[in-house]
Structure 1
């Protein structure tokens, strides 16, 4: 763990609409720190402006089908999860499937229990919404994220691409069934 913060020090909640710019700034920073080295700046900056500018992530907060959960420390957003209807090009998804579109935690707080808390929220909300399965996409070379998702029962179920400028990345679609409880066994009468 890179931070002296303990799990109880974090505040988890839905963001207020006024926090959209702070959430977007945190997401922009996290994406740039994690993936910025892969892209030319001429491609990266327009992507960041579009994805995290006023018409990007803050505007998504107005979508009633998209839910956000933020993690804060001392009033600053340090992580978030975003849950929405499925947008990834999954093969044969079940009706009502949802997608965990982002789960980001700033580097100093990775390993402090923030990501597991956000994942548990996403799984609980997906189940509460009646989703039979939850999907996500992950960059194929993001091995840390893939190990994390595997610990929660996600498994690779397909491929898709992520384009930024001229570069096309190989992403993987991962799926977790949420209704894996077997039906009750028929009662056997004597």
Structure 2
């Protein structure tokens, strides 16, 4: 699946994308959450979750699928989807989790998040999923509004550990 607009392309990640994808993952995560968390917790989380070896391992996993948003060979957004991964309350359904979805801040407001989300939903549908779900930090109202606009609804909560701090995420789902 390749979706192309005038300037942007959304495509599946390849093994050779791992270094640039890793850099984008860390940059967008830090840009989004650094002001809300301690430097030590940010460092602990990014060093364990965004290492090159970790990204390469995920790119080899048949249940993990990355989509990349590109502009003239520059990575500006991505999504990480996990197939056959359920959450409490969705055990009876074939589920896909959107574990991460980010667009660089300089490209916000250009509908790239909506296009990337649509590509995620299309991939999930092609994978025969019945529901797509995600976790979103309870103190991220902009993201919550975006997911609601994209047809997601809250169905629960879970904890998310960032470094040494335990935070609460809302769980949101969308039937396919």
Say yes or no: TM over 0.5: yes
How far, CA to CA, are the matches of 1:164 and 1:52 in structure 2?
13
Instruction: Report the counterpart of residue 13 of structure 2 in structure 1.
Output: 15
Gap change, CA 1:97 and 1:89, over 3 Å in 2: closer
Deviation at 1:111, TM superposition (A): 1.2
SS in 2 for 1:131: coil
Separation of aligned partners in 1, 2:61 and 2:79: 15
Alignment of 1:14-163 (within 5 A): 14-85=12-83, 87=85, 89-163=87-161
Deviations 1:44-80 (A, max 9, x none): 1121011111232332111112111101112110001
Q: Which has the larger radius of gyration?
A: 1
* 8 Å Cα contact 1:159/1:172 also seen in 2: yes
- For residues 20-65 of structure 1, give each alpha carbon's deviation from its aligned partner in whole angstroms, at most 9, with x where no partner exists: 1101101100000100112221221121011111232332111112
8 Å Cα contact 1:67/1:82 also seen in 2? yes
The SS at the match of 1:145 is helix
From the two aligned structures, give the one with the greater strand fraction. 2
Query: Which residue of structure 1 aligns with residue 173 of structure 2?
Result: 175
CA distance in 2: counterparts of 1:153 and 1:71, whole angstroms: 21
Instruction: Report the number of matched residues.
Output: 172
| TM-score normalized by the length of structure 2 | 0.91
Structure 1 runs of 4+ off > 6 angstroms? none
